[in-house]
Structures are given as structure tokens and as C-alpha cells.
Amino acid sequence: MSIDPLTRDLPPVGDGTADLPTPILAMSNISKSFAGVLAVKDVDLVVRPGEVVGLVGENGAGKSTLMKIVSGIYAAGTFDGTVVVDGQRRDFRTVRDAEAAGIVLVPQELHIAPRLSVAENMFMGRLPGRFGFVDDEQLRALALERLRFFGIEIRPEAPAAMLSPSEQRLVTIAAALAKSARLMILDEPTAALTDQEAEQLFVHVRRIKAEGVGCLYISHRLDEIERIADRVVVMRNGSVVERLDTAQGNRAEIVRAMIGRDPERAEKRAPKPGAGVALSLRNARLRDPTNTERVRVDNVDLELRRGEILGLFGLVGAGRTELAQAIFGAWEGSVEGELQIDGRSGWPRSPREAIDRGIGMLTEDRKQTGLIEGQTVLSNISAASLDGVSGRVFIDPSKERSRNAALATKLDVRPPRLDFPVEAFSGGNQQKILLARWLAIDPRVLILDEPTLGVDVGARFEIYRIIREMADEGHAILMISSDLNEVADECDRILVMYKGRLNGSFEQGASRHALMAAATGRGD
């Protein structure tokens, strides 16, 4: 007997659902393969007007593939199954088709045209016109309205290259909310957002929900799912493995469904008294590359010891990433103060010099400044350490493959295929590949800028395990994170920055309240 795609995901008749409105979206028996491998298998999904459905699962579970089908990125005919919108079967061929039906996707991986203005990026494809030309005045007014809606203080005519990753995400979401959406799909919307920015987003999600708009909310942050989702759909290995009528109080069940087992919790790390200083900063001051009057980091002192995981917490704009870039020789503005690495003074003048001095840096945006797309896992791991696998003149292929295979095995990269293109891997495995790159140089100091950004809960535990092992082996780790739980749980000590200055130093186990108070400039 065939099952109506509008009702197959609904509770049985007789439980009070008879008066529910027609779903905005009903997907039935959706399957899609890549090179003969099923990425999504026989998935049913329903979203009703005015509800937020949390869609969760590990990287590679099939969530993003499913959303690309809904939003027209994968055209009808390239997958099996049925998509029904507002009671009518739809065969979307393009993203424009889906948007015309009221389906708007804000993807996890943002695509910003850096040379275009902020306003042009926001309204790309639907720029306001007048007499056959773009109406710049109207474009600026529309962009200002959306930017103010999110409290973003930036000129609409400024080049998008000036936006930080978190600002890019807020701008993209603000632009999407400007469209006449029936269904809003948010894929990891709070990645790189501060708690305050995330709270602002939740307010807008609740607002569109009250207006009858449906929302599919994809996130690895289960505290967000508990707060914002009405119900939860869990995917694993391309299939739906659990449906929960409420997110509240079900986090343990969600995690078990996502990873297929109970997660292993690591014990608190014991302090290592007497370890030598790997990195020391005195009176560090950084000036803006374009406006030398603006000081981005001011009078910062810190010490990082061998075998220590030192957390650097703060809100966007606090100066954390700028400080990390200066240590790694990548800051384009002027640098003042004293830096010592293992007792040797001097700021690196380039990332190459920093690497030669034993500094590695996992950057915040792995797509833009980390991965070398179009290249294999082998090449990505070797990118910073070719000298280590070279003879007098040429690279030794056997030595390179042997070393990189050992690193991939140590970090549990899945699948362990050095010949695969790096973009074929999930976000969590891409992060492991980048960690392998820096392990290959055997760094004295490793800077991790948002190391679990966009990474699922299972891969997070794996990355934390790897970071702990690196610290236990004597590497000094500087972990920059916007995730309050991450710095509180995973770091031996925590420094908090506020407006370019250090505003607090905390030991392991510090309260979340105290950390956030320091990050916002408030007293405890």
C-alpha cells in the first residue's frame, strides 16, 4: 500500500493531529547516491507552518545533501523520491525555482564575493533597478535596513572582504530573511557567532515562526537545538534513525542516536607544574593595517607552557584572531612588543618563518585559509612540511606517503585514503587532516582558532582527544574559541580578551558566568 507523502512523517490518526495544517514541506522516500555510494537513503521529512524542526547528525550523516535537494541545488531527476511543497509536488531544477516556491537556504559554507560591496552581496541576483541600471540609493537603503535589523555596524558600500567570518554569516542570514520565505533552512547558522549574536538570531527565528514560516534548523550545538527546536529528526549514515517530539531534556538520547553509542567523556587534565615556557608575549600591541590610529590589540602579556592547553576566549572583535595572526607572522599591520619562542626573541615576518620556528596555526576558516581544495589528502597534509620528506633535491614519495598515512591513522581520518580529494571529506575529517598537517611539522606551539567550528559532536570528542594527546606529548596549545563550554571544559587555563585587552585570567573549572562577565567587560 502506498503512503501519502504528506502524512507518512506525522503521528498516527487519533492523536489530535487531524486539525494540523497542510505541511509546508513533505519529503518522501528521498535517496541520493554519489559514485554509487548512498549519501541519503529513503528519508521522509515533514515541516509544518510555524514550527522549527531540528535536523541533527554527525558530519557525513546526509543532512546537507538532503537540504541541497530541498533547495534545488540538486535538481529533480538527480535523486529518487518526492518533494511536496504546500500540498503540490515540485520538481525544482534550480535554486531560483525553490526560492520562487518560498524555500530559502542559508548554507553552512558561505559564498562571499570579496570584491563586491556588502550590499551587492546581500542582494545578489535581485538588485533593485531603475531605468535599466542598479538603483544604488535604494540598494543602500535596503541593505542598511537589514544590517540594522541585526545590529551590524558596517557601511553597505564597504567591500565584503572587510567582513569577519561571523559578520559574513550574519549578513547572509539577514539577506535571506529579507526574502519572502515559506520555509527557512539554516545550516549551522551560529557557526562563528558570539552568544549575543546567536541570541539575536534566535529572536528572529522565533519572529518568523510566529508569522507561520517553517524552519529547518541544522546544528551540532545541541543546547541550541533544545532551545529553538519544536521537535528533532536525527540522521546517521544517510538515514533517519530517530524522531523526537520534543528537544527539551533529550540531549543524551539525541547524542546516542547520532553516534550510535554513549559518548566517552575524558577526565580533567592534571596541571603540569614546572614545565618550561614555550611562548611569551610582553606588551603586545597591534595596529590596524589600513587605519594605523586604530589599535586592535593593546598591551597584552601572556605565557604559554609546554604541555599546556591555554584558552583564549572573547567575543568577535576582541582581538583574539588578530593576536594569533601576529604570532604566526600573518598580521599585515604593525606589531609592537616582545615575542619569545623557546627563549628566542622576535616576531615572525611571515608564516613560513613562523613554521620554521616551530609554530603551527589551524585557522578559523578552513575553507578559505586552510584546505587546498582540488588537492589530495596527501598534498594537504604535506603542505607545511615538504622539507621533512625531501631528499637533497626532490620529495621522497615513499617517505611522504608513509609519514602521512601514519598521521591519518593516528588522527582516525575516515576514510583513510590519502589519494582522495580533500573536499570529499566531512567537516570533522577535514579538520583532522589540517591537524595532521601541523602535527607533521612537530610544532613547539600550535595555535587552534575555533578548532571545532562546524564539527559534529562525535568528531568534537575525537578532536578534543587529539588536542589532549598533543599536549601530553609536550606541544604547547593556544586554543581560541567562541564556545564557552569548550574553553571551560578543555583548557588548563583561560585568558579572556575584551576590546583588544586581556580582561581576566582563570584556572580550569572557572564558572561560565565569570568568563562571560569578563568577555563583555562586566564585573563578576
Q: Render pLDDT for 249-293 as a digit per residue (tens, 0 to 9).
A: 888 888 888 877 766 655 666 666 668 999 999 999 999 998 888
For the cut 50, the answer to whether the pLDDT of residue 2 exceeds it is no
- Identify the residue whose cell numbers are 625531501: 390
Rounded to an integer, what is the distance from CA 467 to the centroid of its chain? 18
Instruction: Please tell me the least confidently modeled range out of 171-175, 371-375, 473-477.
Output: 171-175
For the cut 90, the answer to whether the pLDDT of residue 24 exceeds it is yes
How far apart CA 491 and CA 508 sit, in angstroms, is 6
Please name which of 374, 371, 377, 343 lies closest in space to residue 358, comparing C-alpha atoms.
343
For the cut 80, the answer to whether the pLDDT of residue 343 exceeds it is yes
Cα separations in angstroms, 44 against 91, 240, 427: 16, 8, 24
- Identify the residue whose cell numbers are 575529517: 429
DSSP string computed for 337-393: EEEEETTEE---SSHHHHHHTTEEEE-S-HHHHT--TTSBHHHHHHTT-GGGGB-SS
pLDDT tens per residue across span 67-80? 999 999 999 999 99
Query: How high does pLDDT run on average in the chain?
Result: 86
Question: For 467-499, what is the HEC assignment?
Answer: HHHHHHCCCEEEEEECCHHHHHHHCCEEEEEEC
How far apart CA 434 and CA 408 sit, in angstroms, is 10
Please name which of 82, 79, 75, 85 lies closest in space to residue 47, comparing C-alpha atoms.
85
At residue 405, φ and ψ (nearest 5 deg) are -65, -40
C-alpha cell at 436: 595532521
For the cut 90, the answer to whether the pLDDT of residue 147 exceeds it is no
CB 285 within 8 A of CB 298: yes
3-state DSSP call for residue 465? helix
Burial label, 6 (beta-carbon count in 10 A; 0-12, 13-18, 19+): middle
Higher pLDDT, 476 or 524: 476
Burial label, 208 (beta-carbon count in 10 A; 0-12, 13-18, 19+): middle
pTM for the full predicted model: 0.65
Give all domains of the chain, ordered by start, each with its CATH number: 25-112+180-259 (3.40.50.300), 113-162 (no CATH), 272-358+443-524 (3.40.50.300), 372-442 (no CATH)
Please name which of 510, 380, 501 lies closest in space to residue 432, comparing C-alpha atoms.
380
